Amino acid sequence: MDKTNHKAWSVQGKYVIITGATSGIGLAAARELAARGAHLGIVARSQAKGNETAEQLRALTGGNTNVEVFLADLSDQRSIRRLASEILARCPRIDMLINNAGAMFVKRILTKDGMEKTWAVNHLAPFLLTTLLLDRIKMSGEARIITTSSHGHKMAKKGIAFDDLTAKKRYSFLQALMGGANFRYGETKLANILFTTELARLLEGTGVVANCLDPGLVATNFNQDNGMLARMTMAVMKRFSQTPEKGAETLVWLADSNEISGESGRYYVDMKEAIPAAPARSQEAARKLWEVSERQTRNSGIGE
């Protein structure tokens, strides 16, 4: 996009859809965006948690924040399709989509769609939700799509194992002993970057930009449902972690900064463009991932 042609950007008055907004950096980002005057649509797994978050955001701004709650199980493609339908029915415009929700599962779990669950939540969910909302996003003229990746993408040193998309090898006995779940998580975070790269290419000339970020090591509730060992590991890591508010800074900056208007297909760390690992810079892998993701999401829930 030609940066000389864009209007001055501000999140004030913009309609922002954000996943993973009920805790961690998503909640911290939602608070800051609400304070800056954004109209928020938050995606939550439970009605109670979604309502609690919405009330918190409204209270933060003295009741001046427009907050809508949408429910979805991001591991279930039918649920994502219902979510997209509801968003399209209730939102005449979408100025920004923030794909922030993420998870890691130490055991191999297959979803209702037959997908490995870490892959389903971290990659297929943002891919499917984005593509379902894309026409509405384009209607806004100048819009932004932001996806939360991670430094963890560097664990996938050999790239994405396209011959093992359900991660049987990652969760084999030997691989499990060597931290296979961590490497699987790394593949999904690599997928976030490759998805952003190809999305940006496909959006050239539309006015919509797509970027991703590494929020750094953040003290959140991430990885708390994977057993005692996972909780103990995260407890140790929290001693070296930054606050959710600090972790959300780059996300908020990408959402509200005027200086990055027109920039697309980039990876950011600490509010600066950074160079991701070599596998994340492969245009061929980005295009292949897009094709694979289309196949993995094409038939789920169609006609519902």
List residues with catalytic annotation.
Answer: 185
Q: Which long-range contacts (CB under 8 A, 24 or more apart) does 275-282 make?
A: 276/149, 276/153, 276/154, 276/193, 277/153, 277/154, 277/156, 277/157, 277/190, 279/153, 279/156, 279/157, 279/158, 279/159, 279/160, 279/190, 280/153, 280/190, 280/193, 280/194, 280/197, 282/159, 282/194
Beta carbons of 212 and 267 less than 8 angstroms apart: yes
Integer angstrom CA distances of residue 117 from 26, 167, 188, 210, 257? 20, 10, 11, 24, 34
Which backbone phi and psi does 34 adopt, to 5 degrees? -65, -45
CB 123 within 8 A of CB 104: no
Going by the DSSP 8-state scheme, the letter that residue 159 receives in this structure is: -
Strands (E), the chain: 15-19, 39-44, 67-71, 96-99, 143-148, 208-214, 266-269, 272-273
